[in-house]
Structure 1
Amino acid sequence: MSPEGLLSIGELAERAGVTVKTVRFYSDLGLLPEVSRSGGGHRRYGPEALDRLRLIRSLRALGLPVPEVSRVLDEGDGLTGSLENALDARLRELGSEMAALRWREAALQLVRDCPAGERAERLRLVGAVSEPPSTAALARFWRGALPARLSSRLRSVILDHAVPRPPVDPTPAQVLAFARLHAIATAPCPAGDPRRPARHRTDADCRPDVLYDGLFDAYSLAAADLRTGRTPDRGQALDCFVTAHATARDLPDTPAFRRRLDTLLTRAADPMIDRYWELTGVLTPSPDPTLGAVHEWLRSALSDDVARAAG
């Protein structure tokens, strides 16, 4: 140490347990200001530089980027403010990184353990999904499928039910299910594709908000029936389901309307959408059935009801 109590760059590096190159790097970035220069142009640091250098190393060891380290040092209080914000941001980043790693681990197991003949397809499916997986494509799929005149309130409710969140700690089977959902959502659908008008769209003369509000009431009733294992049949859930469709079209619930509705729903049935809901169930295993399962239960109940009336 010099008579003035200043440290040379070598002395500072030795006391901090780092290399001279490291001290010079942080100095050049402005994180570790020098007090003066010797007659020969060598850097000199004050005694406080040692604690500052140790703090810099600690912050960098936590993964904070240099700009965040600089903000923490500039604030002067290492326990609040900028440090808390920087640590919160780093924790969010780590959460995202860990989610990506868990997804990658399950994806690797999925490809490694599958039959050789399925490996190319699974690589293609998994490779099309980001890490961590994003639900943006699924949300776009449903926004395009829902009626244009549907209110933002109902659109948001439907998206909450129809867009499953990837599991925090996925199994290989769930990785495959999500990758297949992503493939469905991003598959090209030409204007002439017969599936296009079947994607949960409604008649031009139908009031979509009235329809979907009524459908959610019917779905709640039918979900209770599904949970108890009841087979599709007549009852309050079916009546509520038909009433929703009839009221949305300003029509009465009559046997003729039920026949027309059964025909309409049968024609609109889409195996791709059925598969979507099946895969959604893999991603969100719970006692509560998916909207797709509830809709199919009600559709089957309606078909049975129409068949009985005809017989």
Structure 2
Amino acid sequence: MSIGELAARAGATVKTVRFYSDRGLLPETSRSGGGHRRYGHQALERLRLIRSLRALGLPLPEVRRVLEDEGAAGGVLEDAVAVRLRELGGELKALRWREAALRLVRECPPAEQADRLRLIGAVNVPPSTAPLARFWRAWLPPRMPARATSAFLEVAVPQPPDEPDPAQVLAFARLHAMTTAPCPGGRRPQPEVHRVAGAPGAAALYAGLNEAFELAGPRLRQARDPHPGEALDAYVAAYGSAYGSRDTRPFRRLLAARLAAGPRLDRYWELTAVVLTPPGGRPEPTPGAADEWLRAALERDNATAA
């Protein structure tokens, strides 16, 4: 076939065939007496394959690797398709995030548009949780075991939804602004228990708190009032391990006073709840909500005992 015949049979242009030929993806079998390219019948299937791969968005280097592997058992095509699927997933997530951000700007009052644009403009697309993780790493005790730190970050750092609504975009943008802003006095407030427990003790503390939060979760989902019980006992035991104290009535009163005097991150957890709640869905308990419920249960328990 001539280059024109090949192009016509493949439904392509001569320019396209020449482009792939010049890059060695579509080898010619010979040249005519006048120097024109000639192609064998196998070139038609190869050209169709090239165009199919390009239509799927595979770059030329990947197309070349697939063609070189054609007929072999190397699985290059499967790998290339898997990579492209991951890339498309990220692109779709970015598009959905931009769509929700645009709706957020469109739906807010004109006086608030500049502030909304500033907030969402500071967030990468698709959004990254790295700034939030850095905030917590600086907040946690130094030299805390890596496994304990990772376990804490898994529950403390909300993952941005793949299909957010405007409220979730705004909440995540505010979380980003909160965790990247300089703290008053130049230092993040560290809970007193961090200094008391040290890095190894803090790891045990957070493991115990996570257990207490899981026990409190069903109570929060049922909207039950804070009350003493198994969840509160686990909560007090976690702090008891950090302070080296048994669960006694004096310790519960001391713990309540120390918790009341310590730093709080209520706004962080309020925004986290918005990020994690699907549109029209019920909010899942966050560690902050569970902690607040357990603090109230501790206060109620102390008041009842008094």
TM (normalized to structure 1)? Answer: 0.87
Q: Structure 1: which amino acid aligns with 2:275?
A: L
Q: Which residue is 1:132 aligned to?
A: 126
Unaligned runs of 5+ in 2: none
Q: Report how far residue 201 of structure 1 moved.
A: 6.2
Q: Report how far residue 92 of structure 1 moved.
A: 1.4
Aligned residues of 1:27 and 1:34 also touching (Cα < 8 A)? yes
Q: Which residue is 1:202 aligned to?
A: 194
Q: Report how far residue 190 of structure 1 moved.
A: 5.6
1:53 aligns with 2:47: yes
Q: Aligned runs of 1:61-140 on 2, under 5 Å?
A: 61-77=55-71, 81-140=75-134
Query: Distance between the aligned counterparts of 1:88 and 1:60, measured in 2?
Result: 15
Query: Distance between the aligned counterparts of 1:15 and 1:230, measured in 2?
Result: 72
Q: Structure 2: which amino acid aligns with 1:204?
A: V
Aligned residues of 1:145 and 1:201 also touching (Cα < 8 A)? no
1:296 aligns with 2:292: yes
Distance 1:201 1:33, change over 3 A: farther
Aligned residues of 1:258 and 1:302 also touching (Cα < 8 A)? yes
Q: CA RMSD in A?
A: 2.4
Distance 1:15 1:213, change over 3 A: closer
Q: Choose 251-260 or 127-136, whichever is displaced more.
A: 251-260
Query: Distance between the aligned counterparts of 2:90 and 2:227, measured in 1?
Result: 46
Query: Distance between the aligned counterparts of 1:266 and 1:184, measured in 2?
Result: 22
Q: Aligned runs of 1:128-207 on 2, under 5 Å?
A: 128-189=122-183, 192-193=186-187, 195-198=188-191, 202-206=194-198, 207=201
Distance 1:201 1:143, change over 3 A: farther
TM (normalized to structure 2)? Answer: 0.89
Q: Choose 92-101 or 240-249, whichever is displaced more.
A: 240-249
Query: Distance between the aligned counterparts of 1:8 and 1:113, measured in 2?
Result: 59
Number of residues of Structure 1 aligned to a counterpart in Structure 2:
300
Query: Distance between the aligned counterparts of 2:232 and 2:70, measured in 1?
Result: 67
Q: Which residue is 2:219 aligned to?
A: 225
Query: Distance between the aligned counterparts of 1:257 and 1:134, measured in 2?
Result: 41
Q: Which residue is 2:207 aligned to?
A: 213
Q: Which residue is 1:268 aligned to?
A: 262
Query: Distance between the aligned counterparts of 2:49 and 2:74, measured in 1?
Result: 14
Q: Report how far residue 303 of structure 1 moved.
A: 3.2
Aligned residues of 1:149 and 1:208 also touching (Cα < 8 A)? no
Q: Choose 202-211 or 47-56, whichever is displaced more.
A: 202-211
Q: After the TM superposition, which parts of structure 1 deviate over 6 Å for at least 4 consecutive aligned residues?
A: none
Query: Distance between the aligned counterparts of 2:68 and 2:22, measured in 1?
Result: 16
Aligned residues of 1:146 and 1:201 also touching (Cα < 8 A)? no
Query: Distance between the aligned counterparts of 2:185 and 2:245, measured in 1?
Result: 30
Query: Distance between the aligned counterparts of 1:183 and 1:86, measured in 2?
Result: 37
Q: Structure 2: which amino acid aligns with 1:281?
A: A
Aligned residues of 2:274 and 2:283 also touching (Cα < 8 A)? no
